[in-house]
Amino acid sequence: MYKFTLTGFTVAALAIGASAVQADEIDLDAGEELNNQVCAACHGATGVSDVDEWPSHAAQHADYIKYHLELFRDEDRWDPDMLMTENAVPLSDADIRNVAAWLAKQDPPPGEDVDEELAERGAEIYYAGIPDDNVASCNACHGPQGEGIKGGQFARVQGQKETYLRESLKAYKDENRVSDRNRMMRDTAGRMSEEDIEAVAAYMASMTPVSEED
Ligand code: HEC
Ligand code: HEC
């Protein structure tokens, strides 16, 4: 009897050990499957969106994707057309980890065709900010090639959909989107005019990719 108990205990302890390891593992195949079944319909088969209002996620940083999926799951992320939240509510922690890791590994979006004059003005804002209005340069946090900063909340913006970028900046400006820690984007967009926003959105959408992986 004593021996039986000891063995049972040992087996249980081993099982706990094994599941603790599995909990941190990333399953890219499962991430791809979830993407194909759920996300691809709106965000594209390889994370490059075909719809102007819906963002691309190819090569986006896994930590950024994870943070936003958790916010949507908690019904706590700006979702103007209420298309995203219901898709995030059923996701498990493992689903979020797997799909974020898979999306981060896809090739970045190619860059969109935009109004060139608008994008030229946008590039000035992106690299120099708007000193008169106390707007910081975007490249400080989003990288010289729009690549963002790995391992944090600093989003990749290169080749993102122009309309999505513009609407997101307006949503920060209007205090609708509040997912930015320390008000980093609300304070930035809040000091920009609609024309500034349109220009910088055009520039970011037009940026072509550099090879960089998460
Ligand atoms: C019915 C369409 C639809 C489906 C399906 C969908 N999404 Fe979304 N998703 C959206 C829309 C629309 C937005 C933009 C919300 C906004 O305007 O800020 C969005 C936003 C996001 C964002 C935030 C992007 C950013 O740059 O901040 C992430 C991350 C995301 N979706 C991931 C996913 C994943 C992963 C799946 C699959 C599990 C998925 N979505 C399924 C429509 C959808
Ligand atoms: C101090 C750092 C900082 C600066 C400067 C900054 N950003 Fe951001 N930006 C962030 C962070 C952090 C996020 C992610 C916030 C969130 O999770 O909602 C973000 C998010 C964004 C998003 C949303 C991306 C998405 O996929 O939804 C856009 C668009 C954006 N920034 C544009 C700009 C532009 C344009 C400028 C320059 C005028 C700028 N940012 C300057 C830190 C910064």
Q: In this structure, are residues 207 and 159 in contact, taking their beta carbons and an 8 Å threshold?
A: yes
Q: In this structure, are residues 188 and 172 in contact, taking their beta carbons and an 8 Å threshold?
A: yes
DSSP label at residue 181:
G
Tell me, in angstroms, the distance from the centre of ligand 1 to residue 93's CA.
16
Residue 75 to residues 56, 78, 154, Cα–Cα distance (Å): 21, 9, 21
- State both tokens at 180: 């930015």
Residues of the chain with CATH 1.10.760.10: 28-104, 116-206
For Cα atoms 108, 64, 28, give the angle at the middle one, nearest 5 degrees. Answer: 65
| pLDDT average, residue stretch 127-145 | 97
Residue 109 to residues 7, 24, 88, 204, Cα–Cα distance (Å): 54, 29, 23, 12
Cβ–ligand 2 distance for 38 under 6 Å, the answer no
- Kindly report, residue by residue over 31-61, the tens digit of the pLDDT: 999 999 999 999 999 999 999 999 999 999 9
Q: Which of 67, 58, 82, 25 is nearest to 154 (CA)?
A: 67
Give me the torsion for CA of 39, 98, 172, 74, rounded to 10°: 90
CATH code of domain 28-104: 1.10.760.10
Q: In degrees rounded to 5, what are phi and psi of residue 168?
A: -65, -45
If you count them, how many residues does the chain have?
214
Per-residue pLDDT at 88 exceeds 70 = yes
| pLDDT average, residue stretch 8-33 | 66
Q: In degrees rounded to 5, what are phi and psi of residue 197?
A: -60, -45
Which ligand has the nearest atom to the CA of 155?
Answer: 2
Cβ–ligand 1 distance for 169 under 6 Å, the answer no
Share of the chain above pLDDT 70, in %: 87
Query: Atom 39 of ligand 1 has which residue's CA nearest to it?
Result: 39
Architecture of domain 116-206: Orthogonal Bundle (1.10)
pLDDT for res 12:
46
pLDDT for res 101:
97
Query: Atom 26 of ligand 2 has which residue's CA nearest to it?
Result: 155
Least confident of 7-21, 60-74, 116-130, 158-172: 7-21
| pLDDT average, residue stretch 63-86 | 97
Q: In this structure, are residues 205 and 110 in contact, taking their beta carbons and an 8 Å threshold?
A: no
- Kindly report, residue by residue over 149-188, the tens digit of the pLDDT: 988 789 999 999 999 999 999 999 999 999 999 999 999 9
Report how far residue 33's alpha carbon sits from residue 24's, in angstroms, rounded to the nearest whole number. 19
**How much is the mean pLDDT over the chain?**
91
pLDDT for res 9:
46
Q: Which of 84, 124, 138 to mutate to test the pocket of ligand 2 (most atoms within 8 A of CB)?
A: 138
Atom of ligand 2 nearest to the CA of 138: 37
Q: pLDDT confidence of 197, banded at 50, 70, 90?
A: very high
Per-residue pLDDT at 206 exceeds 60 = yes
Please give the model's pTM, rounded to 2 decimal places: 0.91
pLDDT for res 211:
61
Per-residue pLDDT at 65 exceeds 70 = yes
Q: CA-based Rg of the chain, rounded to a whole angstrom?
A: 21
Query: Atom 40 of ligand 2 has which residue's CA nearest to it?
Result: 138
Which ligand has the nearest atom to the CA of 190?
Answer: 2
Tell me, in angstroms, the distance from the centre of ligand 2 to residue 142's CA.
7
Q: pLDDT confidence of 23, banded at 50, 70, 90?
A: low
| pLDDT average, residue stretch 70-85 | 98
Which ligand has the nearest atom to the CA of 57?
Answer: 1
